[in-house]
Amino acid sequence: MPSDVRVGDVVQMRKAHPCGSDQWRVYRIGADIGIQCLGCGRRVLLVRRQFERAVKKWLHRATASELPSDQG
């Protein structure tokens, strides 16, 4: 599994969320990976290793133009 995770990536997880959706968008990168359910909007933090094991496939990779800018 590629460890090149970017904010904005959409992934399909191995197990479905209780709302029925298995698609999640990455919103935070660090020691933990923050993901948001695309079905109900629930946010979850996973340890990077747990995230990499739980991902089934990448549905959409964020491009440079989709990345949030750090301009304040």
Q: Identify the band that residue 1 occupies on the pLDDT scale cut at 50, 70 and 90.
A: very low
Average pLDDT over residues 49-68: 84
Q: What burial letters (b/e) apply to 2-30, b meaning 16+ CB within 10 Å?
A: eeebeeebbbebeeebeeebbbbbbeeee
Positions of E strands within 15-62: 23-28, 32-37, 43-47, 55-60
pTM for the complete prediction?
A: 0.81
Region of 49 (left: φ > 0; alpha: ψ -120 to 50; beta: rest) is alpha
Q: Does residue 46 contact residue 35 with C-beta atoms inside 8 Å?
A: yes
Total domains in the chain come to 1
User: Domain range spanning residue 54?
Assistant: 10-64
Q: Answer whether residue 65 shows pLDDT above 70.
A: no
